[in-house]
Structure 1
Amino acid sequence: MFLLNGEPAHCIDPADRGLQYGDGLFETLEVRQGRPLFLDRHLRRLASGCRRLMIPMPDAGLLEAEALSFAAGREAAVLKLIVTRGCGGRGYRQPDVIQPTRLFSLHPYPDYPAHYQTDGIVADFCRQRLSSNATLAGIKHLNRLEQVLARAEWSDDSRQEGLMLDVQNYVVEGTMSNLFIVKNGVLLTPALTDCGVAGIVREWSLAFAAAEGLPSVEAAITVDQVLAADEVFVTNSVIGIWPVRRLAGQDFPVGQVTQRICAAYRLAKQRELS
């Protein structure tokens, strides 16, 4: 199911710059009981990304109304929102008049086993590296080829996520998730200054830590630091929070900090639905 600029559609203009150049942004939202969860956080991040890419932000009220209407009646689904710079001629120059394209699509919710959230997942480090570009760091732009290539490194169910390093050998994120580690009671997550996507569950986790007096640090993190961690978990807006029970052949417990954050996030989702 697709909604293109407010109308049902099955195709996009071939001249759209999102297709031609990856010139746009996207948000991926979990839908429960007909409601897109944390829609306000997603729209704030979208607005921030639009400012940085100099794409006029579609009216937030319109996007909210379309998202709510499109997701209505779906018990569990994934809602994807794409905003591009719209159509333009050949060449990289932006159109003199920018008319953004907004595209919603609805997808079945992934059939992830429930024990991923309780017992944890298996992960490993990817060979594919993330390139550094501070101008694009943090935003969820449409250029995801590095993640596509990293995810192609495994095709079976032996692991559920791959962690990606940058060209300086720092661990940045998962192919589809943000990374957190816990060491001596301190919550650490990679600083996304040169690459990576700043996810909304990452944002929520850091805000929760600050509100609860849990020490948290955004910093450059090495592979050795990750492997020496007391606890490891990953986050995104569809999976929520997954503990990592095994990484690169090493076992990790689902520790107290991870359990605390997972429980609080479940309550936050419940409040979204109340």
Structure 2
Amino acid sequence: MHSWVDGQPESALPLKDRGLAYGDGLFETVAVKGGRPVLLERHLLRLAEGCSRLGINADAALIRSELLAYAAALGEGVLKLILTRGDSLRGYAAQLGAQPRRILQGNPPAVYPSAHAQHGVRLFPCTTRLAEQPLLAGLKHLNRLEQVIARAEWQDAEHAEGLMLDTSGRLIEGVFSNLFLVRDAVLLTPDLSRCGVAGVMRAELLFQAESLGIAVQVADLGLEHLQRADEVFVCNSVYGVWPVRAYAALSWPVGPLTRKLQSIARALLDV
């Protein structure tokens, strides 16, 4: 399917685009089922938060309209929305009056081995650390070099995902997913106020868990919490939930709370 740029089929960008020059922008990766974007409101909420913090004056109604139209045309697959600050002259200062640029790209449905969801995955212990920057924490901004470097650390099929810590040694997230632990029936997930991406599936699972009366805690977590965990899983808005069966010398069973939340995520993605 053709990409759209500012609502029109297009395959090129102006060289002055600040997303290309500085990574000055945001993106959302959205699963599309039956022509409808999954978890749309959560994606748009995170995008709006990013626009507010970065000072990008985007037309939210126009973005929603184009995203819905593109998803309908795509039918099934994975949609990527990129929003940049638009064009500017040389230098970091933004050009006054620049119009944000909207880019929509479509891809076929993501395909992963069924064993990832059924039996769990092994996490690679990434040595790349996430820098702490509260101004950008939680946002899905275009600067993803930390993840690019981390993903290059393993090439084998044994590891489906990598685990990333921050420079202080706290657990943060997977390279392309969010992390959850279960300890004594309490659902734990790392605090992302310093760095990391606040995933939309993460937000939805926290909401669903609280609605079910499951104790939830968002906190600073270290490797010692991982060692004491009863269950571990990762999630994102494309594949849902993968149980984690191993990390380095540690291992866990696929537990009941993981299966419960995995079922909820699957139902959301199968709409």
For the superposition of Structure 1 and Structure 2, which TM-score range results when normalised by the shorter chain?
over 0.9
CA displacement, residues 67-114 of structure 1 (integer Å, 9 cap, x when unaligned): 222222545311000001000000011111130000000012222012
Q: Which runs of 5+ in 2 are unaligned?
A: none
Residue number in structure 2 paired with 1:56: 57
Structure 1 window deviating more from structure 2 (66-75 vs 233-242): it is 66-75
The one-letter amino acid of 2:94's match is Q
CA displacement, residues 199-240 of structure 1 (integer Å, 9 cap, x when unaligned): 000100111111111111111111121122100001111111
The one-letter amino acid of 2:138's match is G
Q: What is the correspondence of 1:74-223 to structure 2 with a 5 Å cutoff?
A: 74-223=74-223
CA displacement, residues 28-79 of structure 1 (integer Å, 9 cap, x when unaligned): 001112221111111111011100000012233x222222222225453110
Residue number in structure 1 paired with 2:11: 10
Decide whether the 8 Å contact of 1:25 with 1:82 is kept in 2.
yes
The one-letter amino acid of 2:193's match is T
Residue number in structure 2 paired with 1:25: 26
Whole-Å Cα distance in 1 between the matches of residues 249 and 34 of structure 2?
A: 38
Decide whether the 8 Å contact of 1:33 with 1:73 is kept in 2.
no
Whole-Å Cα distance in 2 between the matches of residues 211 and 234 of structure 1?
A: 20
1:226 aligns with 2:226: yes
What SS does the aligned partner of 2:63 have? helix
Decide whether the 8 Å contact of 2:124 with 2:154 is kept in 1.
no
Decide whether the 8 Å contact of 1:230 with 1:255 is kept in 2.
yes
Question: CA offset at residue 124 of structure 1?
Answer: 2.2
What SS does the aligned partner of 1:14 have? coil
Report the TM-score, using the length of structure 2 for normalisation. Answer: 0.96
Decide whether the 8 Å contact of 1:29 with 1:80 is kept in 2.
yes
CA displacement, residues 221-274 of structure 1 (integer Å, 9 cap, x when unaligned): 11121122100001111111111111113221110111111112223334xx3x
What SS does the aligned partner of 2:104 have? strand
What SS does the aligned partner of 1:49 have? helix
CA displacement, residues 1-31 of structure 1 (integer Å, 9 cap, x when unaligned): 3100000000111100000000000000011
The one-letter amino acid of 1:250's match is L
Whole-Å Cα distance in 2 between the matches of residues 78 and 123 of structure 1?
A: 24
The one-letter amino acid of 1:85's match is R
Whole-Å Cα distance in 1 between the matches of residues 115 and 31 of structure 2?
A: 18
**Count of aligned positions:** 270
The one-letter amino acid of 2:10's match is A
**Identity of counterpart residues, as a percentage?**
46
Question: CA offset at residue 170 of structure 1?
Answer: 0.5
The one-letter amino acid of 1:185's match is A
Whole-Å Cα distance in 2 between the matches of residues 59 and 259 of structure 1?
A: 36
Report the TM-score, using the length of structure 1 for normalisation. Answer: 0.95
What SS does the aligned partner of 1:72 have? helix
Whole-Å Cα distance in 2 between the matches of residues 47 and 257 of structure 1?
A: 31
The one-letter amino acid of 2:239's match is I
Whole-Å Cα distance in 2 between the matches of residues 196 and 19 of structure 1?
A: 22
Whole-Å Cα distance in 2 between the matches of residues 178 and 74 of structure 1?
A: 27
Residue number in structure 1 paired with 2:42: 41
Whole-Å Cα distance in 1 between the matches of residues 102 and 239 of structure 2?
A: 24
